[in-house]
Amino acid sequence: MNSATILLYWQIGNRIRKDVLGEEQAEYGKRIVASLSRKLVKEYGEGFSPSNLFGMIRFAEVFPKMKIVHALSAQLSWTHIRQIIYLDDPLKRQ
């Protein structure tokens, strides 16, 4: 279950990053994510809060290749991934 959830979160973050936000400015992007979050929370529950959606987006930015994400999903929980995606140094993420 954990691995499937992590892969789903990466796919959601990647889709939002590429198809919804594109090259939008930061403030406008925040409003889009907040609006999307309200709709998703209503439909699917609290797992789609704005902070969680931003975590999914960051996850897709930091680890853009599915092969790496698949390996991570087998070894780490979403809680652990959320901790490492905000590290500034890419070497510390490894």
Task: Please report which confidence band the pLDDT of residue 10 belongs to, taking 50, 70 and 90 as the band edges.
Answer: very high
* pLDDT tens-digit readout, 34-80: 999 999 999 999 899 999 999 999 999 999 999 999 999 999 999 99
Between the CA atoms of 82, 85, 87 and 93, what dihedral angle is there, to the nearest 10 degrees? 110
* Residue 60 near residue 24, CB atoms below 8 Å: no
**Interval 27-43: pLDDT, tens:** 778 888 999 999 999 99
**Domain, as residue range, for 11:** 2-93
Q: What is the pTM of this model?
A: 0.87
Count of domains forming the chain: 1
Give me the residue label for tokens 């691995």.
3
Instruction: Determine which helix (DSSP H) or strand (DSSP E) holds 87, and give its type and residue range.
Output: none
Q: What is the pLDDT of residue 25?
A: 59
